[in-house]
Structure 1
Amino acid sequence: MPSYSAAPGAPIWFDLMTSDVDRASDFYGTLFGWSIEEPSPDFGGYRNFTAGGSRVAGLMPMTGSDNGPTNVWSVYFRSDDAGATTDSVTAAGGSVVVPPMPVGDMGTMAVYLDPAGGAFGVWQPGTHPGFVRRGEPGTPYWFDEMSMDYAASSAFYPRVFDWNWRRSAAAQTGRVATRR
């Protein structure tokens, strides 16, 4: 299968913040056949899952307060300019959780909330391109959001990522956002 290269606004990475990295490593390794790279002390113990030798997802220990979820997956969309994406997010009614920050020479990340409270991030690639294989067993394939405010979410994402909507065959009453 050819290599996947995410266009701006397309999913490029996802990772798990967890209270038990060893247990999560074992679980997802067994479930998807993933291997796990050694943790990076330079990046807070962040680890990468691999499938067939290619990075497919990340894993990091949960830090901070006890007020939030302890185990949560996050999706990141490609951005060629995380600062400009941040401006688009706030102009469209979203909020910034983590402003754009470099992750060594690997790239720049940022995390946001959409107007309905859905969390997502952007990744502006440097030396880390995100996942490069897609749609094969053990690699990313489908991402969606279950919004608490469908109208707010469906207005927000097209403004930020220039997506357009099409009717989903899988969910006859729902719609799926696609990028142009």
Structure 2
Amino acid sequence: MPGAREPRAEPCWADLLTSDLGSAVEFYSRLFGWRFDDGPEARAEGYLPAYLDDQLVSGLVHNDRDSGAPDVWTTYLNVADVHAAAFAARLHGGKIHLKPVEIPEQGTLAMISDPEGIGVGLFQAFDAGDLHSARRHGTRIWSELHTKHFDAVARFYREALGWELSTVSDSPEFRYCTLGQGSEALAGIYDIAGQGPEAQAGWRTYFAVDDADASVALAELLGGAVIREPQDSFFGRMAVLHDATGAEFSIIQPTRHRA
């Protein structure tokens, strides 16, 4: 993992906590074209790096079936000082779930949650800017926080992590803000308080695809499920899916003006 460049606590990485490594390898290798470091040593360590061609793009983390934790995509934020960021998170109403720990030759990792209890990782000395801008099939293209406590969570990210938030919409029907503005935006916060009890708060990971409809059909063939059918938006044609073990993620076929 390369070194950081002017981190703004922006999403820099996402990996999958999964209870079935074999199923996840089959699903994502065929859906996104990922190649996995799936040797005995990686399996024993419980972490399988994922590559697109020779570029590291993600990873799979083994989820013990007895842990009680659901299979889920985890978002990580690129910070200049992980110790200071973790302290600030606790100071502003969040919690520290994993104190900063050194990852050999990579950097320092911590896990926190915001005042709503939504977990997110902090990582120092990691730069995935090229992955975010590539918009190639199978690369992470966007990260978005869905919250039922919009004001408190937005305040937390402003005060604890220094986010400069730009309002996209502030109507009762649609409240949304971004870290940064317009084409320079790096993440979003979406108010889902009015969407009913079935709406789940948490970070959402979006991946670029060449053809949203074909990707949805393939995901279903591989044992996944469609949560939201493909639909057009300003950003491109989008869909929300479950993988074969129930982890939720989204896909976007980017429009030309976002390329």
User: Is TM more than 0.5 here?
Assistant: yes
TM-score, length basis structure 2: 0.60
1:48 aligns with 2:49: yes
Match of 2:247 in 1: none
Structure 2 counterparts to residues 1-180 of structure 1, below 5 A = 7-38=7-38, 40-41=41-42, 44-63=45-64, 65-69=66-70, 71-125=71-125, 129-130=127-128, 132-134=130-132, 135-168=135-168, 173-179=174-180
CA contact (8 A) 1:55 1:132 kept: no
- The C-alpha deviation readout for 1:29-85, integer Å capped at 9, x for no partner, is 11111111235559822111111311111111013843322x111000001211111
Q: Helix, strand or coil for the counterpart of 1:24?
A: helix
Which blocks of at least 5 consecutive residues in structure 1 are unaligned?
none
Matched-pair contact (CA < 8 Å) for 1:56–1:131: no
Q: Which one has the bigger strand percentage?
A: 2
Pair 1:65–1:130, CA change in 2 (3 A): farther
Q: Quick one: distance in 2 between partners of 1:28 and 1:21?
A: 11
**Bigger Rg, structure 1 or 2:** 2
More helix by share: 2
Letter in 2 for 1:163: W
Letter in 2 for 1:59: L
Segments ≥4 residues shifted beyond 6 Å: none
For the residues of structure 1 that align with 2:30 and 2:82, how far apart are their CA atoms? 34
What is the number of residues matched between the two proteins?
173
Q: Which has the higher contact order (CA 8 A, sep 6+)?
A: 1
TM-score normalised to the size of structure 1?
0.84
| 1:116 CA displacement | 0.6
RMSD: 2.6
